[in-house]
Amino acid sequence: MKKKFITIISLAVLLLIGTACKKSFLEQSDPNNISIAANFQSSNDILLAVNGIYQSLRSGNNIGEDSGLWTDERSDDTGRNDNQSNAGEPFQFNNFSLIPSNTYLKSHWVSLYGTITRANVVLSNIDNVPFSDPNLKLQYAAEAKFLRALMYFHLVRLWGDVPLVTKQLSSTEVGAYTFREKQATVYSQIVADLTDVINSSPLPNLQSGGNIGRASKAAANALLGQVYLTMATTQDQANRTANLNNAKTYLMNAYNMRTFGALSSIPYTDVFDVNKKSTCPELIFQIVNKQGDVTYSSDIAANNQAKGETINSLKASSGVGGNVTHDLINEYEANDPRMGFSVKFANDPIVKDWFITKFRDASSAASNLGYGGNDWNLIRYADVILMLAEVNMYLGDNTTAISYLDQVRVRAGMPTYAVSLTNSTYATKFPTLKLAILHERRVELAFEHHRWFDLLRTFTTDELVSYLRAKPQADFGAAQLSNVTTKDRYYPIPFDEYKLDPVKMYQNPGY
């Protein structure tokens, strides 16, 4: 898949904030040396800065629609078969041959920290700005904290220990923050930010109208529930039960904020329909795109389309489109309609393979330039429901876990879990409830950038290596599963960041 690129700079440069010296009234101010604080004079200035945080999510190097390289292509769902020329560095992700100097890896790191820097600037200056409406101030602070927590959650899962910065830094402070903080401390900050958002902000339960795409109470609860679930399964096992109960609490909070009854009342295809993206009640948090706009449109439909096909977009394709591993194709159950909607086999001679069709906009408004209107869905209720199945399963309440699992299966038109177990193929592939939930997340949320994180949460490092290596190599093309080792649990610290301080920015094992 193609990627959008923006100009990038290192973490150190992103954190640099100039400070001004005091001058006498005889000294002239340099009009080109304006402090950041001087830009914040009104509540509207804060609003513009908050909008700038959201805007940074749109970068192809951040967590939007073009960020599959760091998630799905690292998993067993997608990847690349071309390991030459322009695809050489991206191929390292699904080939499990990453090196610290990989420029795509660095771009992702810098973009995530760029968003954090924007959030810190808002939070460091908001108290100095007069607000006629105190709730507006609480709202803007909550949005900044939500987005900062979201970024740190991505960072800590991908890299482990990472630098933790929660304020605007001056040039003299940067060095003091150039060190990797332990994961437990990073998670504590994520929890603190999201707890503040939930308990101390006037955000609505769900956004609507022109505010779709902004943070909400449901989004914060869903994210915090996922954070606690991740902590329970990957972090301090002494607090496992407490973290699972917290995960259940916050996921239920999000679930109870829904505006629909049964999930089956929402057709699966509505979730991805560009004409229903502002009205579909399953959507909790999304990056909004503008159909037909050269700058703010979506390119995922066109980029995923294979040569000779027109199902995704009116834009003609000359390549293989969004590649799908045969391992995922083989995991779909017979007659699962989600497969027919999500993937298609391209018969063009240069393709002869499966490609992604889940994100479509073949409308005239998107035109033959591929300026689609797809929003990028970051959090939706099927994800929350399946996490509720997962957390109840871990707490030993299989009956409740299965009831949530069945909500998703019934909506998809699939047999319930109990009925499915009578099918020998299903029972053999997914002999435990844990594997059945992992399977359901895979086919329900395919290509939505959840799979790698689901694998990290489901398996220990050793189990994950065994799980991936046990898969048929023939289903993964040129990517070599034999390359997978325990080092691949985390990404390497980008070389440019490591060399800032090889002791405090220590490299992850194996790199």
Q: H or E segment at 255?
A: helix 240-256
Q: For residue 57, is it within any domain?
A: yes
Residue that terminates a domain, selected from 310, 339, 367: 367
- Considering the domain architecture, whether residues 157 and 15 belong to the same structural domain is answered as yes
- Considering the domain architecture, whether residues 467 and 363 belong to the same structural domain is answered as no
- Supply the pLDDT for residue 171: 83
- Supply the pLDDT for residue 88: 85
Q: What is the pLDDT of residues 383-407, one digit of tens each?
A: 999 999 999 999 999 999 999 999 9
Which structural domain range is residue 360 located in? 300-367
- Considering the domain architecture, whether residues 465 and 360 belong to the same structural domain is answered as no
Q: How many domains does the chain contain in total? A: 2
Cα within 13 Å of Cα(113), Cβ side: 27
Nearest by Cα to 448 from 154, 62, 72, 57: 72
Confidence category of residue 36, pLDDT binned at 50, 70, 90: confident
Q: For residue 290, is it within any domain?
A: no
- Considering the domain architecture, whether residues 38 and 143 belong to the same structural domain is answered as yes
Q: What is the pLDDT of residues 408-418, one digit of tens each?
A: 999 999 999 99
- Considering the domain architecture, whether residues 163 and 54 belong to the same structural domain is answered as yes
Q: How far apart are CA 71 and CA 79, in angstroms?
A: 10
Residue that terminates a domain, selected from 345, 367, 389: 367
- Considering the domain architecture, whether residues 162 and 36 belong to the same structural domain is answered as yes
Cα 494 vs. chain centroid, distance in angstroms? 20
- Considering the domain architecture, whether residues 176 and 50 belong to the same structural domain is answered as yes
- Considering the domain architecture, whether residues 475 and 361 belong to the same structural domain is answered as no
- Considering the domain architecture, whether residues 38 and 176 belong to the same structural domain is answered as yes
- Supply the pLDDT for residue 9: 35
Q: What is the percent of the chain where pLDDT is above 90?
A: 89
Confidence category of residue 153, pLDDT binned at 50, 70, 90: very high
Partners of 68 in the β-ladder: none
Q: For residue 125, is it within any domain?
A: yes
Question: For residue 135, what are its two tokens?
Answer: 């709730």
Partners of 214 in the β-ladder: 212
Q: How far apart are CA 122 and CA 308, in angstroms?
A: 48
- Considering the domain architecture, whether residues 358 and 468 belong to the same structural domain is answered as no
- Considering the domain architecture, whether residues 359 and 494 belong to the same structural domain is answered as no
Partners of 354 in the β-ladder: 345
Whether this prediction's pTM lies above 0.85 is answered by yes
- Supply the pLDDT for residue 31: 53
Q: How far apart are CA 75 and CA 468, in angstroms?
A: 9
Nearest by Cα to 423 from 411, 407, 439: 439
- Supply the pLDDT for residue 204: 97
Q: What is the pLDDT of residues 343-384, one digit of tens each?
A: 999 999 999 999 999 999 999 999 999 999 999 999 999 999
Q: For residue 395, is it within any domain?
A: no
Q: For residue 255, is it within any domain?
A: no
- Look up the CATH number of the domain holding residue 71: 1.25.40.390
Residue that terminates a domain, selected from 367, 382, 405: 367
Q: H or E segment at 49?
A: helix 43-56
